[in-house]
Amino acid sequence: MTKEDISPLNIARIIRVLMIVAAVLYGAALWAEGNPLSVICVESETGLVLHEENADIVRPPASMVKLMQLLLLEDGIASGTFSLDSPIRVSEFAKSMGGTQVFLNAGESHPLREMIPAVTVASANDAAQAICESLWGSVPAYLQAMNQRAAQLGMTRTVFHSAHGLPPARGQESDMTTARDMAQLARDCCRRPQILSWTSIPQLAFRPKDVPKHSTNKLLGRLAGCDGLKTGYTRAAGFCITATAKRNDIRLICVVMGEASNRGRFDTAGAMLEKCFAEVQRVRVVQGGSYLTRPVTIVNGEERAVRMAAQDDIWVTVKATDVPRLETFTVCPERVSAPLSGQAAVGEVRVQLGEVVLARTPLVTPYDLVEATKSAALCVR
């Protein structure tokens, strides 16, 4: 170290930097103390909760609201209401959105297929707003669609007031949800391969001359099997992420809301997913075609009784320690009337962990149940 390195000027600079760092850390600690972290990790197929902390605190989701836009877009494309070629025209209002953006100009138009990566990769607020206005015609119509869809999904503590998740303007209300509700939304998104193809895009150059923007989701390429879903940040929301990964036919979802730092949300979500992947096991509890009931009486049939069978395999993912607790229940009538075709559903079999129903499949007739002839019926009587 030279005398220049320890000059009063450099010492003052070092002290100033240390003071700034200390202030930032202190501020983050105060923020975290007043805003407890919300975390939930669920198995995607059944929704089984593997871990949760403060999952029902109602708080702003920031840009994670854009997950609902992706779901509505996929719904609309699947129904033919619009297509990936639908033109998205940019209004002056959409252009004026703050926060992260791809700097759209009022009056320009892009096909939906180009605008979606702007939303998923760059979390562009201008693109999300333009999509909302172009495809739904107005912000109120779009918000109605968002909130109706949330109600259909059972997101009972969620209300959306924006297409983008930015802090509300004066006189407006904030988007509000919970980590549990966001996990429910994520489960539905994860059932759509199209959505996962959008959220797994690692980078984007919106225009040919643009410097590529890397996805705001830093778990892509860092966490094995990660292919989504969405980040968010505002001062009120803290650093948030809804993340998912799939390994060995097991898909998990982790929602983190209210982290004090950008890196913290990725570290928390990544560590939680790793922990839960290490704890879970996928098991086949019921084999399709297997007989699961006592003989059921056949009224007016050539046979007097038949045992019903499971229509499909039932696979579930649970913590390895919970496998012995899995139970199978059947719901089936005491008698059925012939004729009945083979594979006719007459009841169901379900797999439960405690009071939680994890999966179910129909109970079916294993073959055609033939009606008895009149003479045979008389003999039976």
Instruction: Identify the domain containing residue 18 by its residue range.
Output: 1-34
**% of the chain surpassing 70 pLDDT:** 89
Which of residues 99 and 28 earns the better pLDDT score? Answer: 99
- Give the number of other Cβ atoms within 10 Å of residue 378's Cβ: 9
In terms of Cβ atoms closer than 10 Å to its own Cβ (0-12, 13-18, 19+), residue 28 is: middle
CATH number at residue 326: 2.60.410.10
For position 4, what pLDDT does the model report? Answer: 46
**Which helix (H) or strand (E) covers residue 193, if one does?**
helix 193-199
Query: Same structural domain for residues 51 and 186?
Result: yes
pLDDT in tens, 147-171: 999 999 999 999 999 999 999 988 8
Q: What are phi and psi of 258, to 5 degrees?
A: 90, 20
Residue 17 pLDDT more than 80?
no
Name the DSSP letter for residue 117. Answer: H
Confidence of residue 37 (pLDDT cuts 50, 70, 90): very high
Q: Residue 24: CB partners within 8 Å, gap ≥ 6?
A: none
For position 33, what pLDDT does the model report? Answer: 55
Q: Which of 254, 279, 304 finishes a domain?
A: 279
Question: What mean pLDDT comes out for the span 120-126?
Answer: 98
Query: Same structural domain for residues 240 and 346?
Result: no
CA dist 132 and 151 (Å) reads 19
For position 375, what pLDDT does the model report? Answer: 45
Query: Same structural domain for residues 104 and 17?
Result: no
From the centroid of its chain, how far is CA 329?
Answer: 28
For position 222, what pLDDT does the model report? Answer: 97
Confidence of residue 35 (pLDDT cuts 50, 70, 90): confident
Vertex 234: Cα angle to 232 and 235 (nearest 5): 145
CA dist 189 and 193 (Å) reads 8
CA dist 97 and 126 (Å) reads 5
**% of the chain surpassing 90 pLDDT:** 87
Confidence of residue 373 (pLDDT cuts 50, 70, 90): confident
pLDDT in tens, 63-85: 999 999 999 999 999 999 999 99
Which of residues 243 and 31 earns the better pLDDT score? Answer: 243
Residue 101 pLDDT more than 70?
yes
The dihedral sign for the CA sequence 336, 337, 338, 344: negative
- Give the number of other Cβ atoms within 10 Å of residue 262's Cβ: 14
Query: Same structural domain for residues 115 and 264?
Result: yes
**Full DSSP string of 195-264:** HHHHHT--EE-SSTTSPPEEPS-TTTTTSTTEEEEEEEEETTTEEEEEEEEEETTEEEEEEEEEESSHHH
Query: Same structural domain for residues 29 and 41?
Result: no
Q: What are phi and psi of 82, to 5 degrees?
A: -150, 175
Query: Same structural domain for residues 119 and 262?
Result: yes
Confidence of residue 124 (pLDDT cuts 50, 70, 90): very high
CATH number at residue 114: 3.40.710.10
Residue 377 pLDDT more than 70?
no
For position 271, what pLDDT does the model report? Answer: 98
Residue 23 pLDDT more than 50?
no
Residue 381 pLDDT more than 70?
no
Query: Same structural domain for residues 23 and 79?
Result: no
pLDDT in tens, 224-253: 999 999 999 999 999 999 999 999 999 999
For position 251, what pLDDT does the model report? Answer: 98
Query: Same structural domain for residues 233 and 319?
Result: no
Q: How many domains does the chain have?
A: 3
Query: Same structural domain for residues 214 and 357?
Result: no
Edge-first strand order for the sheet with 296-299 is 305-306, 296-299, 335-337
Question: What mean pLDDT comes out for the span 283-301?
Answer: 95
CA dist 29 and 36 (Å) reads 11
> CA 291 → CA 63, 287, 350, distances in Å?
49, 9, 14
Query: Same structural domain for residues 75 and 205?
Result: yes
Q: Which of 262, 279, 296 finishes a domain?
A: 279
Query: Same structural domain for residues 42 and 164?
Result: yes
Name the DSSP letter for residue 74. Answer: H
Confidence of residue 354 (pLDDT cuts 50, 70, 90): very high
The label of the residue with tokens 């007989």 reads: 291
**Which helix (H) or strand (E) covers residue 137, if one does?**
none
**Which helix (H) or strand (E) covers residue 134, if one does?**
helix 125-136
For position 11, what pLDDT does the model report? Answer: 57
For position 25, what pLDDT does the model report? Answer: 46
Confidence of residue 18 (pLDDT cuts 50, 70, 90): low
CA dist 161 and 164 (Å) reads 9
Query: Same structural domain for residues 30 and 160?
Result: no
**Full DSSP string of 138-181:** SHHHHHHHHHHHHHHTT-TT-B---SS-PPPPTT----BB-HHH
CA dist 182 and 154 (Å) reads 11
Question: What mean pLDDT comes out for the span 24-52?
Answer: 77
Taking a C-beta distance cutoff of 8 angstroms, is the pair 223, 277 a contact?
no
Kindly calculate the radius of gyration of the chain based on its CA atoms and give it in whole angstroms. Answer: 27
Confidence of residue 268 (pLDDT cuts 50, 70, 90): very high
Q: Which of 249, 279, 309 finishes a domain?
A: 279
